Structure 1
Amino acid sequence: MKKFATVDPEHFLWQTNLGIRSEVKDKEDLESLQKRFNHTEGLHIYQRMKGCEWNDETDEIKSWRQSSYDGEDFLALDTKTWTWTAAKPQAFPMKHTLDHDQAFMTYLKFYHTEICVQNLKKYVNFGRDVLMRTDLPKVFLLQKTPSSPVSCFATGFYPSSATLFWRKDGKDLHENVVHGEVLPNPDGTFQMTVDLNVEVTAEVEGKYECVFQLSGVKEDLVTKLERRSILSNASDEDNVKVIVGTTLAVAAVILAIIVIVVVAIRHKNKEANYDPAADEDGT
């Protein structure tokens, strides 16, 4: 954006002036809405949102413009019919006025079909290095216990527009599958999980696979379900049991050797102190 500001400073000046004018208009609208809702005191919020979406492959354009009062829908523009929709009774007077304001409607059509899209293309072009960045994740198979669902965990991917799902014999699975939400990581990347409720046996190994797909990347990231690939608390516990059992066995062998050595030493000492005459006279 710093580079953009240097190349096209007039654009940022225009946006700044637009924001100043919008602030004045929003205050006027908020005061008007407070009267219509009969709100004489307290904190109230008026919000307006406008935007557009451009598909660079099909050149299809979608746009929207809507407003809300105290967090609830108030008024929206249908950009297909170019008419206003009132979500509250208090919005009908404003809808009636806007529907008959042909000059303003002409400006809205020009803005949503031309200006908004031109700005969007500018932003994409100048921010391409950041906006078009793609980072593939690290994928892990996790399982708490042998009877727990197998969780496919993908972390470190960017952008957030990704899908993660289980597949069996090449077909997407929808049953016994639970999808988690896309969550942010502290470093700005994202993570997500998808759980599969299945008993991991030798018969099912290799038949199931976790598939990760990232927007902008053609190839899928596939992780096959194999017992040796699963990270599990139960596996750690089993390893601890094996280590403890081995340690105890070694300790028992060492103890037995020590006992044998002690007995041998005592027996040797006893032979060294043996007096044949004492045995002969019966003492």
Structure 2
Amino acid sequence: MQLFPALFFLLGIPSGAPGAHIVQYMYGCEWDDETDEVVNGYRQIGYDGEDFMVYDQKTETWIAPVQQAVHTKQKWDKDKADLAYWKYYYTQICPDWLKKYVEFGRSSLMRKDLPSVSLLQKTPSSPLTCHTTGFYPDRADLFWKKDEEELHEDVVKGEILPNHDGSFQMSVDLDVSGLQDEDWGRYSCVFHLAGGQEVSKRLDKRDIRTNRKTNDGGFDTGLIGGVLGGIAVLAVIGCIIGFFVYKKKHPKGFRATNTCEMSSLAGEDPAVKKGSSEEQSMLKTSA
């Protein structure tokens, strides 16, 4: 089940009240793309950072969290036409808008990329690093395990960091100073992506990339040559691609932009226009 929430915020300053005050609107709905069920609809109004009014979709009434909102609640509960509109909005209009947003952003919302996994070590006495890069989204976990048990001791986990291409990277270190040679094969580095996908790499000395000196006085090119060489190649390719994309999009330099290009596609959420006048009126009488 993939649950998609829609959440909208509006801010305003009510008139008729001394000083500056903040009105907050939060409304939205949740849709299950497998069952096509609208799970929940909600509309909340805040005043100066505190709850003021909450719409209850199940009972089709308003809830007043504070005494100052009771008068407005009683008034709005009598407006059956308005309550019927909000019921229709949260069961029909809001889900339709949410489905459009999901479709427009499907490439990013549904994107899942598994990473490449590398074993890195500076010297034989240094901690062994399991490094993953290129995964998306950032809802992921990385850990070491021995046999089938996750390790918590002698382990240092790094933060999830962004890459320039929008993907992410993460690493976790394991202290191998007391590790016996016969036990190396019992250890694995496991990457877990939200949704259940996993990548596991068993610990093998032959797979470790390092920049330590070799017997001939040089350096093992596994880490330095591989990483820096890869970065250099990607940088050159990125520059070439960027140049042609720029030339294609800007064949004659700058051009005027039609600010209305997106209006016909996106339209306007009727809840924004619907809620503004009546809720401003509420605040005049209740503030």
User: Which TM-score applies when normalising by structure 2?
Assistant: 0.52
Q: CA deviation at 1:212?
A: 2.0
Q: CA deviation at 1:138?
A: 1.8
In structure 2, the partner of 1:10 is: none
Return 162-171 or 50-59, whichever deviates more: 50-59
The amino acid of 2:191's aligned partner reads F
* Partner of residue 192 from structure 2, selected from 207, 213, 216: 213
Q: CA deviation at 1:144?
A: 5.2
Structure 2 distance, partners of 1:95, 1:147, is 69
* Partner of residue 243 from structure 1, selected from 217, 222, 227: 217
Larger helix share, 1 or 2: 1
CA deviation vs aligned residue, 1:104-139 (integer Å, no higher than 9, x gap): 555444434443323222222344344323322222
Q: Does 1:50 align with 2:50?
A: no
* Partner of residue 182 from structure 2, selected from 170, 190, 203: 203
CA contact (8 A) 2:117 2:133 kept: yes
What is the 5 A alignment of 1:57-72? 57=34, 61-62=39-40, 64-66=42-44
Taking structure 1 as reference, are residues 111 and 168 closer, same or farther at Cα in structure 2, changes over 3 Å only?
Answer: farther
Structure 2 distance, partners of 1:151, 1:99, is 63
CA deviation vs aligned residue, 1:198-252 (integer Å, no higher than 9, x gap): 5444133121212223346x65211122334334xxx52x4068507xxxxxxxx
The amino acid of 2:200's aligned partner reads V
* Partner of residue 101 from structure 1, selected from 58, 70, 76: 76
RMSD, aligned CA:
4.2
CA contact (8 A) 1:78 1:84 kept: yes
Q: Which runs of 5+ in 2 are unaligned?
A: 1-7, 219-287
CA deviation vs aligned residue, 1:14-48 (integer Å, no higher than 9, x gap): xxxxx9xx97xx43xx236x95xx7x36xx76544
In structure 1, the partner of 2:283 is: none
CA contact (8 A) 2:24 2:47 kept: yes
Q: CA deviation at 1:63?
A: 5.0
Structure 2 distance, partners of 1:214, 1:50, is 30
Structure 2 distance, partners of 1:229, 1:85, is 63
In structure 2, the partner of 1:139 is: 117
CA contact (8 A) 1:47 1:69 kept: yes
In structure 2, the partner of 1:260 is: none
Q: Does 1:150 align with 2:128?
A: yes
Provide the identity percentage.
Answer: 45
What is the 5 A alignment of 1:260-279? none
The amino acid of 2:192's aligned partner reads Q
Structure 2 distance, partners of 1:174, 1:118, is 46
Structure 1 distance, partners of 2:53, 2:142, is 34
Structure 1 distance, partners of 2:74, 2:182, is 66
Structure of greater relative contact order (alpha carbons < 8 Å, 6+ residues apart): 2
Task: Count how many residue pairs are aligned between Structure 1 and Structure 2.
Answer: 205
In structure 2, the partner of 1:168 is: 146
Structure 2 distance, partners of 1:182, 1:85, is 42
Q: Which runs of 5+ in 1 are unaligned?
A: 1-18, 245-283
Larger of the two Rg values belongs to structure: 1
CA contact (8 A) 2:53 2:69 kept: no
Taking structure 1 as reference, are residues 63 and 194 closer, same or farther at Cα in structure 2, changes over 3 Å only?
Answer: farther
In structure 1, the partner of 2:14 is: 31
The residue matched to 1:160 in structure 2 has which SS? coil
CA contact (8 A) 1:51 1:64 kept: yes
User: Which TM-score applies when normalising by structure 1?
Assistant: 0.53
Taking structure 1 as reference, are residues 149 and 76 closer, same or farther at Cα in structure 2, changes over 3 Å only?
Answer: farther
Structure 2 distance, partners of 1:85, 1:195, is 52
Q: CA deviation at 1:177?
A: 4.3
CA deviation vs aligned residue, 1:83-118 (integer Å, no higher than 9, x gap): 6475xxxx6524763476234555444434443323
The amino acid of 2:76's aligned partner reads D
Q: CA deviation at 1:146?
A: 4.8
